[in-house]
Structure 1
Amino acid sequence: MAGEPTVTTAADDEAFDAIVVGAGHNGLTAAAYLARAGCRVLVLERRAVVGGAAVTEEVIPGHRVSTASYIASMLMPTVIRDLDLGRRGLRMVACDPILTVPVGGERIIRWWADVDRTAEEIAQYSAADALAFVDVDRRLKALAAYLQPFFLETPPDLAAAGPLARLREAWRLFRRFRSLKGKEAGEMVTFMTGSLADFLDRHFEADETKRMILANSVYGKHGGPYEPGSAVGLLFHLLAGGDHGVQGFNGHVIGGMGAITEALADAAREHGARILTNAQVLRIDVANGATTGVTLADGRTFRAPVVLSNADPKRTFLGMVPGQALPEAFRRDVAAIRMNGPAAKLNLALSGEPRVLGRPADADPRERALLTIAPTLESAQRCSDMARFGEIADELWIDCVIPSLIDDTLCPPGHHMLTCFIQFVPYHLREGTWDERREELAASVIRQITRHMPDLPELILGQRLYTPLDLERTFGLTEGNIFHGDLATGALFSMRPTPAWSQYRTPVQGLYLCGAGAHPGGGVTGAPGHNAAQAVLRDGMARGRR
């Protein structure tokens, strides 16, 4: 069952070709690909359950929910097919509408998978916006299609040495974008560097339209909509995902997000990988500039010429690798990676389905399962600015999902689960600590949701709030950053995690980064794990079939 502890054993004198630190979805993806290639692989997970932040756990007895990550959107179709995740129990139900957003009073606006249906929705507020949306959707999907291939390959190497190597990297980049027209190239640059607010103000006139698009553009990213680089989320959310590679796919996972990682773990085991839980890695061992294995917090050691870290860059290089094993300049670059996670998560067990103001009486379960409470552009910027200075705004971005309307295995009949992703909260508080102010945030979030679900408070049977500090403590995310580092323009592609080390390799021979801190970044994609495993095999570092 998804989310249950995975127990196996491994003798500490046993030899492996590769050790993976962390059984999050990228670590499991890397392990499965390496094991499939014939490598002897050991995965070490500090928690009692595999999955990292993609897990399904109880809030109260008998009531399960996706604890942290909660909607499948960018899981790479290649990974699903290669590792045969469908045969291993992975089943996703497409979200349609993709979003339901309150826009004042008892009015809502919905973003449907069908672009023409969405245009009809927008036309209630602006006929001009409806026409503009169809055009913008077409252009954005075209640009996202250019980005798609980059997700499953190593980014161009800015540190390539020698003229031939640099020429090879330039040719690889040219080959990917040679069909990009001049106008499209300009649009790509605008999206990568411009602000979301400027883009929306340029193309749309109604606040309702802008609020709907804003609601699909945040998800754990730093900064408000008026800041440079804030438009890039629009492209990321239009990448192809799911079983059939549908652009902009969002899906409810039957069994919760833990079903994804249990399927990945099953693939790794079937190909021979060993997975050891309750195994916290204290140190990545290094001798003569090369990794030799790892030492656990309980003193056990495991040896391998290759170690792949699914932990974030700061936890990996500043916490687990001995300082003297890394160049000081590299350590400074890693220390400068922006974390300060801006997100929290509230999970609620309910005695019934809450009523939503403005929702049609004939709404089907997929529509009733979603509600995104998004502020205006100006309010979102204010929230972001307050969080930057350690304050908690009284109007937050809250994405609400009732997955039990789609998946009745999560809780008893008649009961429901409500999971809420909260944006624009600080990791560092100006006043007090998160342990002191946790209940204050939970009460504020419930109060804000109640404006749209008036009967919510009387339905709550149990709750669990994860502040940014709780995300760090529970899932090992430095400063609670769900993306292992900000997804700003200057921290993507060849800049991730640093410009000199964007190829999954590190200054320590045999040590690779396979988590979201590497290209292409966060989200449950499997791409960093896939790409890191391919880099290991190309380098011939791990024994096994090529």
Structure 2
Amino acid sequence: MDAEAAAGRYDVVVVGGGHNGLTAAAYCARAGLSVLVLERAAGVGGAAVSAEVFPGTGARLSRYSYLVSLLPARVVRELGLDVRLVRRRWSSWTPDPDDPARGLLVDGGDAAATRASLVAVGGTADADGWETFSRSTATLARGLWPTLVEPLRTRAEARALVGDDAVWDALVEQPLGAALAAAVPGDLARGVLATDGLIGVSRPLDDETLEVNRCFLLHVVGGGTGHWDVPVGGMGAVSGALERAARTAGARLVTGAEVTAVTPDGEVTAVVGGEEGTATARWVLSGVAPSVLEGLLAAGGADAPAAPVVRPEGAQVKTNLLVRRLPRLLDAGVATGAAFGGTFHVHETASRLDAAFAEAAGGRLPSPQPCEVYCHTLADRSILPPDLDAEGAHTMTVFGLHVPDALVPADGPEHDAVRDRLQENVLQALGSVLAEPVEDLLLRDADGRPCVETRTTKDLERSLGLPGGHIFHGPLAWPFVEDDDPLGTPAERWGVATRHPRVLLAGSGARRGGGVSGLGGHGAAMAVLEAEGLPRP
């Protein structure tokens, strides 16, 4: 049946059943279009899934993506998604690498406490600069966030919506490092602010390409506030809700479908259960990375693009842990729940971040490893089975920065050795700022193995099809266009155009992509509906 479905005629074929592909499918199907989604994995959701990472434990971790900031309330409302997000009280805790018995606690519920902590670690200048910089990011978020579910604005229009030329110039027109240095003199506080520009991006803070700025913007505009929330039930609950919305609307979802070719005329060839079939559609929406799409188009006989396709390069390492309790802190004045209740920054001062970039650029794995820790189970215990919940167990997710794909061998023993080294570096970095080794707290799976796994960029490419392990499918774009960019077609107006009119971007590689947002899929669906003359459902 699945092979037959993959060989039919549809209004829309979606290549890739990640959360963006599901978003596009749900919108198009709700508008009355016939929709087919082809997903190569055994299940949908892509990187936004939950999994029993450690067999026999019953704990379902958000294995890849883990927090939500950019999913618009409008998308949740329009698709009728049963998604609940929990706001974290504490924003972050950052122990001083030179003296881990003290640190910076950013308290989302107590501005005075945050200011006192800033004064304690860096002085009044840090506290004043932090408050000023935070007001700047809030101004940027308020101006740009509402536009992400609307047709693209031009640069001039976006600047006018922000309404503050000084903020625009500081955060959009010049390297982020300059704005941070001008606002916050302290190395530790500046590093905490800087990390939002380095998630999956290995560049220096004074990056002249402004890739750091674009990543930073992505991380501070969500919801108009920049808050990052915990999905109750794990990230799989988000994709599960989108899958139900797509199926309920009538979309056909076929898993285990390896797409092998796409033609500019709307033919999509896939192998399902060993059988090859070709589906035909008026629109092909690509939830895969743009570089992957180019390979599929080449296989379908499309002309080569005018410029060579650049392979993306991710730059992170991800470690998941299951522990019997959270580790003790060296700072007795901070509660463990507060320290791990937001983002726990490890060796992420501004100077250490730039040093790690220099090490990576020189071909060496950073040491100590800058990384940040997030504990889902402090906000949502539902991902644990009753026995682990009762015992007080916790999950810990660690995201390491400045680990470019070029430093990770492709496969075999060499890859495994680097993965082991990266895991060791992560655990050593954590241990250097804690009162006890995390290794001593690890639970064991059904086979007696410690509950810790590390995923490299190469692992992400193999398991999720992310070229170079790039979590955003490639370098991020500004969520607006230049003043002279063409906006003559629906696809151009929604930031999803390719060089083929019937093939649209519907994933993180769209202009307004990146993160668990549904924005890529939403934009592609809106372009299709506009072109078809259909109302927004």
Paired residues for 1:282-361 under 5 Å: 282-284=260-262, 286=263, 289-296=264-271, 298=274, 299-322=276-299, 324-330=301-307, 332=308, 335-336=309-310, 339-358=312-331, 360=333
1:281 aligns with 2:268: no
1:346–1:464 contact (8 Å) kept in structure 2: yes
2:496–2:506 contact (8 Å) kept in structure 1: yes
- The one-character-per-residue Cα deviations of 1:103-139 (angstroms, maximum 9, x if unpaired) are 2321121223244442232122311222222222122
Q: 1:356 to 1:8 in 2, by over 3 A?
A: farther
Q: 1:32 to 1:466 in 2, by over 3 A?
A: same
Which of 420, 432, 450 pairs up with 1:451? Answer: 432
- The one-character-per-residue Cα deviations of 1:336-382 (angstroms, maximum 9, x if unpaired) are 3x611001211112233222322646454685464121432222122
Q: 1:324 to 1:15 in 2, by over 3 A?
A: closer
Paired residues for 1:528-543 under 5 Å: 528-540=520-532
1:480 aligns with 2:469: yes
Amino acid across the alignment from 1:510: R
Paired residues for 1:43-192 under 5 Å: 43-60=37-54, 61=56, 62-85=58-81, 88=82, 90-104=83-97, 105=99, 106-114=101-109, 115-124=111-120, 125-155=122-152, 174-178=156-160, 181=163, 184-192=164-172
Which of 501, 506, 520 pairs up with 1:514? Answer: 506
1:521–1:528 contact (8 Å) kept in structure 2: yes
- The one-character-per-residue Cα deviations of 1:248-286 (angstroms, maximum 9, x if unpaired) are 1211111111111111111111111111111121111x2
Write the distance in 2 (CA, Å) between the matches of 1:359 and 1:40: 60
Write the distance in 2 (CA, Å) between the matches of 1:429 and 1:173: 36
Paired residues for 1:189-204 under 5 Å: 189-204=169-184
Write the distance in 1 (CA, Å) between the matches of 2:158 and 2:314: 33
Which of 527, 530, 537 pairs up with 2:519? Answer: 527
Q: 1:17 to 1:295 in 2, by over 3 A?
A: same
Structure 2: runs of 5+ lacking an equivalent:
445-450
Structure 2 residue aligned with 1:17: 11
* Percent identical residues: 30
1:222–1:487 contact (8 Å) kept in structure 2: no
Q: Give 3-state SS (helix, strand or coil) of 1:465's partner.
A: strand
Which of 189, 212, 217 pairs up with 2:197? Answer: 217
Write the distance in 2 (CA, Å) between the matches of 1:376 and 1:149: 32
Q: Give 3-state SS (helix, strand or coil) of 1:59's partner.
A: coil
2:269–2:279 contact (8 Å) kept in structure 1: yes
**CA shift for structure 1 position 154:** 3.9
Q: Give 3-state SS (helix, strand or coil) of 2:188's partner.
A: helix
- The one-character-per-residue Cα deviations of 1:410-447 (angstroms, maximum 9, x if unpaired) are 23222221111111102112889423321111111111
2:476–2:511 contact (8 Å) kept in structure 1: no
1:43–1:273 contact (8 Å) kept in structure 2: yes
1:470 aligns with 2:459: yes
Structure 1: runs of 5+ lacking an equivalent:
1-6, 157-171
Write the distance in 2 (CA, Å) between the matches of 1:457 and 1:387: 26
Amino acid across the alignment from 1:37: A
Structure 1 residue aligned with 2:481: 494
Structure 2 residue aligned with 1:162: none
Write the distance in 1 (CA, Å) between the matches of 2:358 and 2:39: 36
Q: Give 3-state SS (helix, strand or coil) of 1:305's partner.
A: strand
- What is the TM-score of this pair, normalised by structure 2? 0.86
Amino acid across the alignment from 1:130: A
**CA shift for structure 1 position 8:** 7.2
1:400 aligns with 2:373: yes
**CA shift for structure 1 position 50:** 1.3
Amino acid across the alignment from 1:204: V
- The one-character-per-residue Cα deviations of 1:440-464 (angstroms, maximum 9, x if unpaired) are 1111111111122323111123122
Aligned residues: 504
Write the distance in 1 (CA, Å) between the matches of 2:463 and 2:152: 31
2:329–2:336 contact (8 Å) kept in structure 1: no
- Bigger drift between 440-449 and 344-353 goes to 344-353
Write the distance in 2 (CA, Å) between the matches of 1:234 and 1:227: 12
Amino acid across the alignment from 1:290: D
1:116–1:134 contact (8 Å) kept in structure 2: no
**CA shift for structure 1 position 179:** 5.3
Amino acid across the alignment from 1:275: L
1:327–1:507 contact (8 Å) kept in structure 2: no
Write the distance in 2 (CA, Å) between the matches of 1:103 and 1:38: 56
Structure 1 residue aligned with 2:399: 421
Amino acid across the alignment from 1:417: T
Write the distance in 2 (CA, Å) between the matches of 1:31 and 1:232: 28
- The one-character-per-residue Cα deviations of 1:322-345 (angstroms, maximum 9, x if unpaired) are 374134305x2xx13x61100121
**CA shift for structure 1 position 403:** 1.2
Amino acid across the alignment from 2:475: D
CA RMSD of aligned residues (A): 2.8
- The one-character-per-residue Cα deviations of 1:78-105 (angstroms, maximum 9, x if unpaired) are 11121122xx2x1111122111111232
Write the distance in 1 (CA, Å) between the matches of 2:283 and 2:245: 20
- Bigger drift between 200-209 and 257-266 goes to 200-209
Write the distance in 2 (CA, Å) between the matches of 1:222 and 1:455: 28
1:378 aligns with 2:378: no
Q: Give 3-state SS (helix, strand or coil) of 1:200's partner.
A: helix
Write the distance in 2 (CA, Å) between the matches of 1:28 and 1:39: 14
Structure 2 residue aligned with 1:164: none
Q: 1:493 to 1:408 in 2, by over 3 A?
A: same
1:22–1:310 contact (8 Å) kept in structure 2: yes
Amino acid across the alignment from 2:419: R
Structure 1 residue aligned with 2:447: none
Structure 2 residue aligned with 1:167: none
2:26–2:79 contact (8 Å) kept in structure 1: yes
Q: 1:328 to 1:175 in 2, by over 3 A?
A: closer
Which of 424, 437, 455 pairs up with 2:418? Answer: 437
1:309–1:316 contact (8 Å) kept in structure 2: yes
Write the distance in 1 (CA, Å) between the matches of 2:197 and 2:13: 36
1:251 aligns with 2:237: no
Write the distance in 1 (CA, Å) between the matches of 2:240 and 2:225: 25
1:282–1:296 contact (8 Å) kept in structure 2: yes
Q: 1:292 to 1:225 in 2, by over 3 A?
A: same
Write the distance in 2 (CA, Å) between the matches of 1:275 and 1:424: 37
Q: Give 3-state SS (helix, strand or coil) of 2:199's partner.
A: coil
